[in-house]
Structures are given as C-alpha cells and as structure tokens.
Amino acid sequence: MKTGFLYGIVASSKTRVRCLFCGVHIPKANKCIEQHTNGARHKENVELMTENGITFKNNILYCKPCKLELSLEDSMMQHIDGDSHSNWIVAMEDLIDGEFISIEPYLTSEKEDAYCEVCHSPFQCTLQNIESHVNGINHRTNITEHLKPLNGIFPVENDDEVWCKICNTFIDNSPQSILEHIDDDEQHMFWFSSIEDLIEEQDITIKSFLANEFDNNAYCNRCHQEINCNTKSLEDHINSEAHLTHFS
C-alpha cells in the first residue's frame, strides 16, 4: 500500500482504505489505489495542500498556518474550506497583495519566514508581523522606489516632487503621494488598462518606455520594431498586415 506525502492513504477497514487528501474511500487493492493516486483530482489536491501549508508526515496531517494536527477522520479539503483556515488565507492574501512579499517559503518548506522582495529581507510569517512590515516606513519607501520605473515616474530638480510621464503631472515626492497616484489616479489607471488590454498576447513590451524618461516607444518583439507608445499607434501596428503575418 502506498503511503507518504504523495499518497495520504490510510487503512479504513479490512476491505477499504481512505485518502485523507481527497476524503474518499477506495477498495483495498493495489490497482484501485494506483488509479486513484495517479488521478488528476488527487494530484490537484496534493498541489492544493502545498499551497495551503498542509503536510502529511508519519500519518499525520498538519496545517502550518493554523498550527493544528488534523483528525484522520477529516479530509484536507474539509479543513481548507473551514472558517479558521479560510480566514487566515484571506487575511494573508489581503496583506501581501501588491506588496511583493512571498509566503511560499513558509507554506512549502520547514522555514518559518516570509520574504520581502523589495526590502530583500526575511521575517517570521505571522499576520501581525506582515501587517507591521508592510506599514513600516522602510517598506513603503522601498516599494515606492521599486514601482517608480514600472509606472513612468521620475525625479526632477526639485526634490520635493516627482514627475509622472504617463499623466504629465507632478506629484509630491513622498511614498504616500506616489502610491496614491499609482493606485488611485483615474488617468494613470486608465492609461495602463487601455495599453495593457491592447498589447496583451501581442509580444509588445512597454518596459523601456516606462523606465526611461526620454524613450517614447514601445517595442514589438515579433516585428523587431519600435512603435510610438500611445493607443492609436499601438492599435494601428497590431492591426497592420506585417504584425498580423507574424501571428499567423
């Protein structure tokens, strides 16, 4: 009988076994067990366990976020769908959304740390610690510096302000003002949504346009051609015979 993290099979009766990952009973026959553990549903549930910080070792299901050993009578799916686990996941996702913080090392290994990619620092992965980190002035400053070249924002001679290339407007040079402009300014958001909708799956990049103050062009990797980075020029290029030929 197969056991271990990849299988989650435990004895149920003389004639059946139970898959803790999927919450189903299986005839106690090697062929039936093989068929189940090689099936798509079982493999998807193994991935789901990893994403949710649940391990199976020594016939024990353990949820790392909840710090809880799960009863063998319960399935992994029942726990994931439960209020306690769901609330932790939702709260954590809300905290790290847009903050460039990875909790994968915490969920998928024996490490206890999350990792902040903009501060280049690990720290203990708890809701309280992450809330404190993302609201700290050091993180707000680092994330602002990280987002500037992704949003066409540049320094000016007056250190009290920065310039947004997208909106052709000046912004107070503070993390709060810059992040509010990126996240909430209607003109800024509309430009990005319009351009990104146009170039999606077209192999066109605007990275250089956003990161370089005097670069006015997007670049089509398929046609090896620069295009003025505005909606009309990009739309004309995408619908041109030359570009369409590269996608045929």
62-71 contacts at long range (C-beta below 8 A, 24 or more positions apart):
64/106, 64/107, 65/89, 65/92, 65/107, 70/20
| 72 and 14 in a common domain | yes
- Residue 97: give the domain boundaries: 83-135
Confidence (pLDDT) at 74: 65
Residues 13 and 76 in one domain: yes
- 212: in domain: yes
CA of residue 64 relative to chain centroid, distance = 20
Are 24 and 87 within one domain?
no
pLDDT at residue 198 above 90? yes
**What pLDDT, on a 0 to 100 scale, did the predictor assign at position 230?**
95
Judgement on whether residues 75 and 93 belong to the same structural domain of the protein: no
121, 126, 18: which is closest to 73 by C-alpha?
A: 18
The confidence score (pLDDT) of residue 4 equals 47
pLDDT at 112: 92
pLDDT band of 210, cuts 50, 70, 90: very high
Q: Which of 57, 81, 105 represents a domain boundary (last residue)? A: 81
Task: Give burial (CB, 10 Å; 0-12/13-18/19+) of 66.
Answer: middle
Residues 33 and 46 in one domain: yes
User: How many other C-beta atoms are found inside a 10 Å radius of the C-beta of residue 136?
Assistant: 12
- Is 180 domain-assigned? no
Domain boundary among 41, 61, 81: 81
Task: Give pLDDT tens digits for 124-136.
Answer: 999 999 999 999 9
pLDDT digits (tens, 9 = 90+) for 140-172: 999 999 999 999 999 999 889 999 999 999 999
Cα separation, 247 vs 99, in Å, equals 35
Predicted model pTM = 0.74
In a domain, 163, yes or no: no
Average pLDDT over the chain, rounded to an integer: 90
Which amino acid is present at 139? H
